[in-house]
Structures are given as structure tokens and as C-alpha cells.
Amino acid sequence: MFVSLLTFFAGALFVLTFIFFMMHFIQLFNLAVTHGADMGMVLGALVKLLPDIFVLCAPMAFQLGVLLSLGTMSESGEVMAMRAAGFSFGEITKPLFWFAGFLFIVIFIFANWVTPKNTKAFFDARNNMRGRINKILLEPKTFISIGNWSLYADAIDNGNHMTQVHLVSTDDKSALSTKINAQSGDVNLTRDYIALKLYDGQMQRVPADNPAQIVAANFKEYRVTFPLVVKSVRAPRVEEFTTPQLFAQIRSGKLDAVTRAEYKTDAAQRNVLALSPFILLLLSCPLVFGLSKKAGKAWGMLWSIVIILFFYALLMGGVGIGKKYESFAYFAPFLPVAAGLIISRYLWKTRLRV
């Protein structure tokens, strides 16, 4: 049974992960095309989402694995044979509970520590993509926009060597005019920055507070580097904080009631996801064991969908209550856990006589 469970679990986890992965991939790919990022940056950002995708998909994959593996055993008569040999339902399902315990530990660690850190790294990477300067084409006798500067050169050869170079600032609030002229120069264009090395030129600047004054300086060689990624400051999201950080924010007294309720609810929700394999397993076993041999995998798949929808619908309802009423923020997300325990206890007692 354990081999069958692992097979179904791995297959379901792969399919669900692929679906979630592709949803994010399409969004990031469109963002990368718009802002000139390459596939390496897209894939690097998506890898950071894998822990979060695992936390979301593993309980569902486990649920499908349990019902399909138990459905196969019921269909082949193995459950009936084991019961006839004197095995209790608890003994038959013991490997499933051990695996649920393993998933609980992994999801608990991921949801409370690993996933928030990776989520923050993902949003930082996405923010950097949005702040990228689009692909720069070096063409002669054309003003090329590089951030807050414009570059002009009379000629540019295949080795990116320029002649008669002019570099003009377009956003210098402390000066009416800032420009750099050079006889020649070289360009080093990379994915993250553009570096200029200018020769035999002069820098001129007209201060805004004294327009009659011109500051000029001659140079033999002048180097300047312009980043192609403009980093912007963004407010961190609640899912970017580890659970200890959430509790520290809650205790700090700096949060308003709405934000505090959101932080409490998110902290509780993470632990509900960690407990979900146990609840889904408790609900699944009496339903599958109560099926006839002919029901098999088809009914197992149907019950999988019903139980998953039931669990996550209650979870979303509990999260909504917790965010709306702060006094229930720590407890409302546990609504599917409480309901699952009550219903599973009834099912085990009525259907399996346990």
C-alpha cells in the first residue's frame, strides 16, 4: 500500500505543481518580454516559488494519493482480505498516518520559515524585472536614453568604439545643464549595466542656483557606469514575514487593528495547512473503506474533489472571518480542522464502528 500511495502522491504532486508553476511562468514571461529580462531571470524567480507551491499542493496530492491507493486496494479485495486476517482499520492505515506526520513536519517548517523567505526573494526579483531598462540599441547619430542620461555619438563601430561622444543629463535638479563631451569612448554593455570609458573630453555643469556660472573640467579618461535595473522601494507583504516575525510585529503595538488581524490570521492559516494532511486522511479513510469493491478509483476521485473543496472552502471562510474580526483571528482559520475532526469522528464511528 505504501508504494501505491507514494506513486499516486508523486504523480498528483507533479501535475498540481506543474499547473501552478505554469500559471506563474506565463505571468513572469510576459513581464520579462515587456521589460527586457531573460529566461534565466524568469526561471530563477520561479524556483523561489517552489516551497510555496509545495505547501499548497502537497495536501491535495496526499488526499488524491490516499483515496486512489485505498480505492485500488478496495477494488482488488485487499482491504477485505486484511480485515479477514484480523487487521484493524487502524493497523491498515498506520503507514498513511506516518506519511501524514512526515508531511506535517515538512509543511510546518516550509510554511512558517522557508516559504516566507523565498516569497520575499520572488517579489524582489519580480520588482527588479519591472525596474529594468528595456534593451538598449547602440546606434550612431541617435540619442539613446540610459536612465536619466542621453547618449549621442557620431559613429559607433562593431567593437562598440565611439567617436565624438556627448552625454547629457536629463534629470539633474541641482543644475540647469550637465553634459560631458569626449573625442572618443568605449561601451561595455551587459545584462545589468552599461559602462562608458570616455577619452579626451570635458565635463560642463551650470548650477541651478547660479546660472551665470559654468563649471568645467577637462579629462584624459572618464569612466561612468549606469545600472540597467532601477530598484524601487516596496512595502513588504504579510506572506513575506516568517511566523516569528509576524508575532514580533503583532507584539510591537505599531499595527492598526485591520493589519493586526491580517497578520494573526495568516500565522494561524500556515499551521492549518500543516495539519491538513491529518484532517484529509481522517475524512478519507471511512469513506473509501465504506465503498463497495465495484466503486474503486472513480468514487475515490470523486470523494477526493468533494473533500478538498469542503476543506478549502471552510479555510477561506475562516480566513475571511479572522480578517474581519480580530478577536477570532487566531481561531477562525482552524474552522476546517474542527469541522474535519467532528465529521471524521462521526464517520469512523458510524461507518467503521471504531
Same domain for 193 and 266? no
- Decide if 295 is inside a domain: yes
Closest CA to 241 of 255, 224, 221, 223: 255
For residue 134, name the pLDDT band (cuts at 50, 70, 90): low
Domain final residue, candidates 189, 210, 227: 227
Same domain for 122 and 250? yes
The pLDDT tens digits of the residues spanning 70-107 come to 878 877 778 888 888 888 888 889 999 999 999 999 99
Same domain for 45 and 163? no
Find the helix packing angle between 335-351 and 257-289, rounded to 10°: 20
Least confident window among 84-88, 99-103, 288-292, 341-345: 288-292
Domain final residue, candidates 185, 208, 227: 227
Same domain for 32 and 157? no
Residue 332 is predicted with a pLDDT of 97
- Decide if 14 is inside a domain: yes
Cα three-residue angle 125-223-169, rounded to 5 degrees? 75
CB 143 within 8 A of CB 254: no
Same domain for 34 and 103? yes
Closest CA to 31 of 125, 147, 170: 125
How much of the chain, in percent, has pLDDT values that exceed 90? 57
Residue 82 is predicted with a pLDDT of 87
Residue 228 is classified by DSSP as S
Residue 39 has pLDDT above 90, yes or no: no
Same domain for 192 and 107? no
Q: What is the mean pLDDT of residues 140-146?
A: 88
Distance CA 132, CA 198 (A): 25
Question: How many Cα atoms are found within 13 Å in the side-chain-facing hemisphere of 271?
Answer: 12
Domain final residue, candidates 227, 253, 277: 227
- The overall average pLDDT reported for the chain is 89
For residue 25, how many other CB atoms are within 10 A of its CB? 17
CB 13 within 8 A of CB 57: yes
Assigned C-alpha cell, 342: 467532528
Q: Domain count for the chain, please give it.
A: 2
- Domain housing 162: 144-227
Distance CA 198, CA 101 (A): 64
Q: What is the mean pLDDT of residues 111-126?
A: 94
Residue 297 is predicted with a pLDDT of 61
Distance CA 235, CA 241 (A): 12
Residue 135: strand, helix, or coil: coil
pTM of the shown model: 0.82
- Decide if 136 is inside a domain: no
Same domain for 270 and 242? yes
Residue 291 is predicted with a pLDDT of 63
Q: What is the mean pLDDT of residues 164-175?
A: 86
Q: What is the mean pLDDT of residues 30-52?
A: 84
Same domain for 105 and 170? no
Give all strands (DSSP E) within the chain, no chain letters: 144-146, 149-156, 161-169, 175-189, 193-207, 215-227
Least confident window among 31-35, 109-113, 215-219: 31-35
Residue 186 is predicted with a pLDDT of 96
Same domain for 195 and 341? no
Residue 300 is predicted with a pLDDT of 63
- Decide if 269 is inside a domain: yes
- Decide if 256 is inside a domain: yes
Same domain for 20 and 108? yes
Assigned C-alpha cell, 68: 486512489
Distance CA 42, CA 39 (A): 5
- Decide if 187 is inside a domain: yes
- Decide if 137 is inside a domain: no
Q: What is the mean pLDDT of residues 161-187?
A: 90
Residue 232 is predicted with a pLDDT of 72
Same domain for 48 and 156? no
- CB within 8 Å of 313: residues ≥ 6 apart: none
- Decide if 138 is inside a domain: no
Same domain for 91 and 39? yes
Q: What is the mean pLDDT of residues 296-324?
A: 87
